Every structure is written in structure tokens, then in C-alpha cells.
Amino acid sequence: MDGTGIVIAFWVFAAMTVGAALLVVALRNLFHAALALIVAFAGMAGLFVTLSADFLAVGQVLIYVGAISILVIFALMLTPLAGRHNGESRYALPAGGAAAGLAAVVIYAVLNVDWPLRGGEGFDETAALLGEALLDTWVLPFEVVSVLLLAAMIGAIVLVRGDGE
């Protein structure tokens, strides 16, 4: 089950991610493009699971599928006449060029790196190991993160509410 299941899962999630990503570019309605982006994010989370990066998958679902997509949709709803229209843009050509260049670099790297392959001895759970490291050895940086988040939270309020209130 282990071998074929992962292969099937990989192809399903890969098709889901690439298909949704193509929809993001192709859809004319900006809001629909944002929804397709969420599907692409979710497919990425699945790919992380097949790579046995379970913490990364949870992070992907929480941050990208959950929060980043909310921010994108909020930004759309808050922008006057965000067009809901993904019409022809004069940036189409340079953007296409940049995307092609990036794809070329990634394909070159994938084909030319001698990837070390792990044997099929199964997968480890990374989240528990990370938890032990974070709350034991690296507990101070862990607490500092909450101070950073506190600063972000207060900064958001100060920025949005302005001085008058």
C-alpha cells in the first residue's frame, strides 16, 4: 500500500496544484482566481505530506489556505473596482517572460542536482520532534516569537486606527 498510495497521492496533488495554478492565470474573474489560488495552496499541503513534511503541511493549511487567502480576498473586497476583472494586462508579456525564466532555472536545477535518495524505511513525524526542540532547547527564541507577534498585532491596530482614536 505504501508505495503505490504515495505515487497516486503525488499525482493527484500535483495535478490539483498545477491545474488550480493555471486557473489562477486563466480565470477572468479576479475573485474566482483567488478561490483557485486556495485550491493550489491546498494541493501544495498535500504534496508536503507526501514528502513526509507534516509540520510544513499543517503550516501550509493554517497560514496559506487559512490566512493568506483571507488576506487576498479581503484585499479584493476592499479595493474599489478591483475590477472583478482579470482582463488583459500590459504586464502579461514581462510576467510570462519572468515565469518562463523561473521555470527554466527550476528545471535546470532539478535535472542537474545529484539528489540524495532515502531508502524506503518509512516516514518520521516531524511535528513532535520540532515541538521537543522548540519548547526545550530553543525555548527562548520560542518566547521571542510571541513578542514579535505581539508587536505585529499592536502595529496592525496602530496603522489601521490612526492617531485620532
Nearer to another protein, 15 or 63 (CB): 63
**Rounded distance, CA 69 to CA 127, Å?**
24
Name the minimum Å distance from CB 38 to another protein.
14
Name the minimum Å distance from CB 41 to another protein.
13
Whole-number Cα distances in Å, 57 to 52, 53, 63, 138, 156: 9, 6, 10, 22, 27
Name the minimum Å distance from CB 57 to another protein.
8
Name the minimum Å distance from CB 70 to another protein.
5
Evaluate whether 38 touches 68 at the Cβ level (below 8 Å).
no
What does the block give as the cell for 55? 509540520
Nearer to another protein, 2 or 114 (CB): 2
**Rounded distance, CA 67 to CA 140, Å?**
26
The residue written with cell numbers 497521492 in the block is 9
Residue numbers of the site for another protein (CB under 8 A)?
Answer: 1-2, 5-6, 9, 49-50, 52, 54-55, 58-59, 62-63, 66-68, 70-71, 74-75, 77-81, 84, 122-125, 127-132, 134-136, 139, 142-143, 145-147, 149-150, 152-154, 156-157, 160-161, 165
Nearer to another protein, 111 or 160 (CB): 160
90, 78, 93, 96: which is closest to 31 by C-alpha? Answer: 78
Nearer to another protein, 24 or 39 (CB): 39
Nearer to another protein, 105 or 151 (CB): 151
The residue written with cell numbers 502579461 in the block is 92
**Rounded distance, CA 61 to CA 36, Å?**
15
Name the minimum Å distance from CB 113 to another protein.
25
